[in-house]
Chains A and B, each alone.
Chain A
């Protein structure tokens, strides 16, 4: 038994240094990408993705140290945080590449070495709150759930024990510049060069939809998956309103959308590309024209349909150097029933309701899920400062594997563009979609807070004075009684009075 082991060790020792010596020491890598998609409604969606891979576990080069330390301290396996303002209107805009509910959403998988998951979760949300300047510290047991079916690990995972998963949504969270700035600082080139130049806050927040997210997960380092590296994906999706930014026209350009053009690639990036969806939908006889004309195009099956993208590679000197800046312009020219139901009822002030259903939806049908609830009065300290605004109910989540119309060719995962590779696809005949509904504003019965003191005093006085007397009056009968011949005190007094010669009482 001993000999093979020794041989194996020997081989390892021999190969180890040799392996390192042959290739460059594996470095952290950065890929950045922007996808511009004209939407069916005439609006334009722009999706940024920045992917940083972390190979050295104790050395930080591109990977932000703040997040790296977070992973090791809380033994994270996966972390997904999204901050969203607005609501993706699937009916008008089609299926999104990246889905997020309105407000803040945080879900994380912990390593199975973590003993107290709830404690780690609480600390994690507090730390993230500080990193991203968001009110994630309001996540507590009352809005945290452990879904059992809908959320699976997106990265490498040995097992899926759902007790290590936590999920929370804060529907009321407002996303603003203060959240964007720390998010931009995590980028290796910050907003100095590359695609991140376009991230101007005043334009990004003049949009119909704004969603920024951070995804951390372990991925395979190579095709054979012999080693694991950490992947950080920072994504940002915005939808520009054609009516506000384009004065009703469907034409757009990078400058008109972002008030910036691309000047130079990020020197740290190994790949920096802009994809423009130039698929002609064949309706209304509309054709589109992209300027400058792209050098290459990319065709693939994205979300079940065949799409064509014009590709601009910023690292390709020809793209940028022509005019010292790249301003892409686009002009339009006119010519279930095997179910699974998991329900976890709420405990007042402890945990929320969780209802998960696995249902098969018939084609082109409307499915209505309705939940009956009772309105109740809260304790008076539990009302928010603006109780008449209403109380939010978190958006619900719909996850689905949708059969693809066109079979996608199984491509190399590492090589495919970032927008197409966040969600793992098991086979090519279907694609994964996750949709969120709008959050719901429910108005609860609210007392008039302007005069609680008056009301309490008045009510108590009325009850105290009237109730007792009326109760007496109604239940007792009154009879006149002749006064009896005195008590002990009176008799004593009369004795004294008699002794003094005064008439008795």
Chain B
């Protein structure tokens, strides 16, 4: 640190930063992107390995053979479901009781803030049914197998398999933890209601009856989704609410039984690349990695397991995929994999904690740990730091004179003027953010009275209108700002905006790397080069293209492209509108944080840059 306290060297360093700023920034940005892409290649990806001793060496022998029973139960369930039009609660209770479980039900109801057009629901009420398999000890720990049921009977095969597994598990004596078999109605809403009641909290304003039966602290949970009684592959989903991930050991466990049972297992719908030596393998893993990053950045639960993670319950979702592939597996193979997983989870002495909680997955058996992917985001954020340093020095020299920089403290008067001129733009942009967060849901009824639109449309259109209205902001504020020292004004504003953006992105990156990296990759270049002189139209176009909403739109196109289902422009726009509505809804129903983060944090910050661009 002598480097910084020595005034002579300090001046040399400052000159270096000022002179080489642009190349350094470009280099840093390129390094960040390149580092990220390199994450899919072998030196940075490592093979996964089981860290938890209790699940490692002991092999279990799976004896599940209830395939026929599962199929007939699934048929019965589907028939009853069709007949009653809702979850056949009485049938489920009867069946669970007949296989020897303690059965309880929970009713819940929730009025969504506005109608959910994707899932076609508004006033939701349903009943969750769950059965508890008790074991000898005093019900202090439990495992959960949950089947979320949507409005149609698509998941009836999973219910059948779950009940057949319950019957098989009930006859065994080796269980050291209670096992809860949970069937939820209205898929994730039911899961949320059940979880809140189980932990006796109320986060999202769900109304539900209290649970009569509990089974201690839940150690792990598996959600099951099967659409047919034969599967070609099993897809595993790990991304949870707000980008939370389960402990990597749970995924390792699943992978172990995939290999043992010879099942075809996929991640993000992509098979694991076989050949890592040629270029094809890593290229495929780049795609998988990008898909995972997009999925995690969205902050929405990628399956019913995503809601368990908030309560520190390690969980994942298994999806049976039935595609056109030749070789198919029946329910027995899936059941055996599940039995094996539960038996090994049953061995756990402590909750899963040994392995990684922060990781990226370029393939099912490869992972990138937090220490290796963080530099990618670090390089991107360094650009903001360098740019802020440059502005800070320029501000200093403008006030004191270049030959005496660093020798005298900066002039107090010029500092004061700079800060006072910042208050108005900061306040106005934050107010815009607040309006963007509150008004759409609050003003939906007013909007539906005056315009011929439905509530959901009203919310989305208000959202877009307020967002666009924010762009008119500079014309409103530049009269308020004093015109003294014109150049210093925008520099001070840009300095504050750069530091604000860097802080936000750094905090987001720490909790949800994917979101932080995606936002940094899109917002940093425009933020760095924006200034009120030069080709303003170009800057404006670049800024608009990298605004949070445009990033969301671009991510949607990229996501569908990677899934090999490309979107046309109109489809993309429709999907964008639906996604906006979903984002707002998920914030209100599950507590997803992406919407408030964008509305209250990044959008105001982005408006500051817009303000800088149109500074007069």
Q: A residues engaging B (CB < 8 A)?
A: 84-87, 89, 91-92, 102-103, 171, 205-210, 242-244, 248, 366, 370, 386-390, 392, 395, 438-443, 446, 450, 465-466, 468-470, 472-473, 476-480
Contacts and interface: CB of A to CB of B under 8 A. Distances in A.
A469 B1 contact: yes
B318 to A, nearest CB: 25
Contacts of B140: 390, 392, 438-441
Given A102-B137, A208-B134, A243 B170 contact: yes
A68 to B, nearest CB: 33
B351 interface: yes
A242 B46 CA distance: 49
Contacts of B351: 388-390, 443
Among all A-B residue pairs, the 5 with the closest Cβ atoms: A469-B1, A102-B138, A388-B350, A87-B138, A441-B140
Contact of B139 (A87, A390, A468): A87
Q: Which of A248, A370, A441 has the largest number of chain B CB atoms within 10 A?
A: A441
B138 A171 contact: yes
Given A248-B100, A366-B210, A443-B217, A469 B138 contact: no
B235 interface: no
B138 A86 contact: yes
Interface string B307-347: 00000100000000000000000000000000000000000
A248 B168 CA distance: 12
A86 B349 CA distance: 17
A103 B137 CA distance: 9
Contacts of A91: 212
A390 B135 CA distance: 19
Given A85-B137, A89-B134, A243-B170, A440 B216 contact: yes
Contacts of A103: 138
B136 A438 contact: no
Contacts of B354: 450
Interface string B164-190: 000000111100000000000000000
B7 A469 contact: no
Given A206-B173, A390-B351, A86 B210 contact: no
Contacts of B135: 208
B409 interface: yes
Given A366-B210, A386-B350, A469-B1, A208 B217 contact: no
A370 B200 CA distance: 10
B352 to A, nearest CB: 8
Interface in B194-239: 200, 210, 212, 214, 216-217
Contacts of B171: 243-244
Contacts of A366: 210
B409 A477 contact: yes
Given A439-B140, A440-B216, A479-B407, A472 B134 contact: no
Contact of B1 (A438, A473, A480): A473
A392 B137 CA distance: 14
B94 to A, nearest CB: 14
B5 interface: yes
Contacts of A207: 136
Nearest to A446: B353
A472 B5 contact: yes
A386 B354 CA distance: 12
B4 interface: yes
Interface in B112-147: 134-141
Contact of B350 (A389, A470, A479): A389
A442 B311 CA distance: 12
Contacts of B216: 438, 440-441
A80 B312 CA distance: 39
28 contacts: A84-B138, A85-B137, A87-B139, A208-B136, A209-B136, A242-B100, A243-B100, A244-B172, A366-B210, A370-B200, A386-B350, A387-B350, A389-B350, A390-B140, A390-B350, A392-B140, A438-B140, A440-B140, A441-B216, A443-B312, A450-B354, A468-B1, A472-B5, A476-B5, A477-B409, A478-B7, A480-B8, A480-B407
Nearest to A174: B137
Contacts of A370: 200
A8 to B, nearest CB: 58
B7 A388 contact: no
A246 to B, nearest CB: 11
Contacts of A171: 138
Contact of B102 (A92, A386, A387, A395): A92
Contacts of B138: 84-87, 102-103, 171, 395, 438-439
Given A388-B350, A478-B406, 7 more contacts: A86-B138, A87-B139, A102-B137, A208-B136, A243-B100, A386-B349, A438-B214
Contacts of A476: 5
Contacts of A480: 7-8, 407
B105 to A, nearest CB: 14
A317 B17 CA distance: 106
B170 A390 contact: no
Given A443-B312, A443-B351, A469-B1, A438 B170 contact: no
A272 B137 CA distance: 31
Contacts of A209: 136
Nearest to A470: B1
A473 B5 contact: yes
A473 B214 CA distance: 58
A185 B384 CA distance: 77
Contacts of B136: 85-86, 205, 207-210
Nearest to A477: B409
Contacts of A439: 138, 140
B1 A465 contact: yes
B7 A479 contact: yes
Contacts of B100: 242-243, 248
A204 to B, nearest CB: 11
Contacts of A89: 102, 134
Interface centre among A390, A450, A465 (most CB of B within 10 A): A390
A240 B216 CA distance: 22
Contact of B5 (A208, A243, A386, A478): A478
Contacts of B172: 244
Given A86-B137, A208-B136, A248-B100, A390 B1 contact: no
Interface string B1-18: 100111110100000000
A441 B5 contact: no
Contacts of B217: 390, 441-443
Interface in B32-79: none
A92 B97 CA distance: 12
A210 B172 CA distance: 18
B2 to A, nearest CB: 8
Among the interface residues B139, B200, B212, which one has the most CB atoms of the partner chain A within 10 A?
B139
A386 B353 CA distance: 11
A370 B199 CA distance: 12
Contacts of A85: 136-138
A469 B5 contact: yes
Nearest to B98: A248
Contacts of A442: 217
A468 B2 CA distance: 11
Contacts of A387: 350
Contacts of A468: 1
A385 B33 CA distance: 43
B226 to A, nearest CB: 26
B5 A389 contact: no
Given A244-B173, A248-B100, A469 B137 contact: no
A388 B134 contact: no
A392 B216 CA distance: 11
A388 B139 contact: no
A27 to B, nearest CB: 40
A431 to B, nearest CB: 25
A478 B408 CA distance: 9
Contacts of A478: 5-7, 10, 406
A469 B409 contact: no
A301 to B, nearest CB: 29
A389 B7 contact: no
